[in-house]
Amino acid sequence: MAKLRKGVSYRFLERPYTRKSKYRKLNYVRASPTSKIVRYDMGNLSKQFPFQLDVLAMDSLQLRHNALESARLTCNRSLEKNLGKFGFYLKLRVYPHHILRENPLATGAGADRLSTGMARAFGKPVGIAARVKKGQVIFSVRVEKQHADTAKKALNKIKHKIPCQCRIVEVIN
């Protein structure tokens, strides 16, 4: 299987040309890869926590589903370790809709007989990404007021997993 390309290959926003529809004929891309994101809501879903922190994107870009899942896992693990399973509420606020495509070009000996080059270079689906605009909220966490520093440390771990500048903002309810 081919190696996963670097995130910079798909980071920048371009014109979305990956329409999905419930009618198969209207799809531009016939197949849609499955998302690696397991859950969007974690922690205590029923309790109302008074203190909220958000992670905002400082650039417009595409975030691949494996980067979002990695950030979610890291933050969730840190919060569960420090606050317990029900001491917080974490929500992933973006959804990966955009299908990423790649035109596989064969290289090496005999590649001239296998590859078509750039003729019909629409590409095959290799993954999906969430399209994030500047200032959009990526993650939200709600905790008790005394656990605000713990939540900030957990959200700082998210910033290292996401390929753009992020800012942690306190939300007043």
Nearest C-alpha neighbor of 134 from the set 160, 172, 165, 158: 165
Residues 173 and 167: their CA atoms lie apart, in Å, by: 19
- pLDDT greater than 70 at residue 106: no
Any idea what the Cα angle at residue 159 is, between residues 85 and 68, rounded to 5°?
70
Residues 3-47: tens digit of each pLDDT: 777 777 778 787 777 777 788 888 877 778 888 888 889 888 888
* pLDDT per position as a tens digit, 40-95: 898 888 888 899 999 999 999 999 999 999 999 999 999 999 988 999 999 999 99
Whole-number CA gyration radius for the chain: 19
Its pTM stands at 0.84
Task: Please name each of the domains of the chain with its CATH number.
Answer: 13-102+118-171 (3.90.1170.10)
CA angle 18, 24, 28 (to 5 degrees): 25
**DSSP secondary structure of 20-56:** --SSGGG-SSS--PPP----SEEE-SSS--SEEEEEE
Closest Cα partner for 148 from 7, 49, 65? 49
Token pair, residue 127, equals 């993954």
pLDDT at 1 over 70: no
What tens digit of pLDDT does each residue of 113-128 get?
Answer: 656 677 777 778 888 8
pLDDT of residue 154: 92
Residues 63 and 129: beta-carbon distance below 8 Å: yes
